[in-house]
Amino acid sequence: MTEGNLDDALTNQSVPQDIDLESRKLLIIVTPTYARSFQAYYLNRLAYTLKLVQPPLLWIVVEMTLQSDETADILRRSGVMYRHLVCKKNLTDIKDRSVHQRNVALSHIETHHLDGIVYFADEHNIYSIDLFEQMRHIRQFGTWPVAKQTSDKSRAVLEGPVCNGTQVIGWHLNGLSKRFQRFHAEMSGFAFNSTILWDPKPWHRPTLEPIRQLDTVEDGFH
């Protein structure tokens, strides 16, 4: 695991200091990754995007089993403040790999009381710089529409929340099967305040029972 004091990391990477730095909320970007043909391409592309986002930003990258030299090298050269974690859970279903990797990141955020806005950024997706800046306005939980390709890749569709002011009152969905999901938001379609993981008082949580993603994406969080 690669980690360190956030203030030291900002100083060591020569992040430009300006009067707005203290007022900007830390963005905590969580990315599961695994070895495959385009892994380096995806990670480098995401690294270039994150480097353009104004600090402070912490990139938590989680691998399975061990830290690979290739990923470690990409992170060192990224110019982005990062922590390189490992998920050592034995998996019986390869589809759930990223679920357990995200939970490792959530546990790390909880243990170290990292204070910021948590966002799950899968490496193969493409992101707008403005999206990250808008996240800093989130106080508790934020969600937004996400563009997706249909299964036959013939067209793009939008899925996302129906809002009344600041309240989510419904959901735009494509496909009947998704109507029965417990958690409708796509992983790239929401972000939340990290203090809900480790500070129960502001959230009126009676206990500090860990908040984790369930074993299947369709089930959401508990």
pLDDT above 50 (res 199): yes
pLDDT at 207 over 90: no
Return the pLDDT at 172. Answer: 75
Say yes or no to pLDDT of 221 above 60. Answer: no
**Residue 181 pLDDT:** 58
CB 61 within 8 A of CB 71: yes
Residues 17-71 pLDDT 10s: 554 666 799 999 999 999 899 999 999 999 999 999 999 999 999 999 999 999 9
Here the tokens at position 210 are 């860990």
Cβ 123 vs Cβ 46: under 8 Å: yes
Cβ count within 10 A of residue 163: 12
Is pTM, for the whole model, over 0.85? Answer: no
Tell me the average pLDDT of the chain. 82
Residue 114: pLDDT over 60: yes
The pLDDT, as a whole number, for residue 203 is 76
Question: Is residue 170's pLDDT more than 60?
Answer: yes
Domain boundaries in the chain?
6-142+186-219
Architecture of the domain spanning 6-142+186-219: Alpha-Beta Complex (3.90)
DSSP-based three-state secondary structure for 126: coil
3-state DSSP assignment of residue 14: coil
Residues 82 and 9: their CA atoms lie apart, in Å, by 9
The predicted structure's pLDDT at residue 178: 57
Alpha-carbon gap, residue 49 to 56, rounded angstroms:
14
* 87, 63 contact by CB (below 8 A): yes
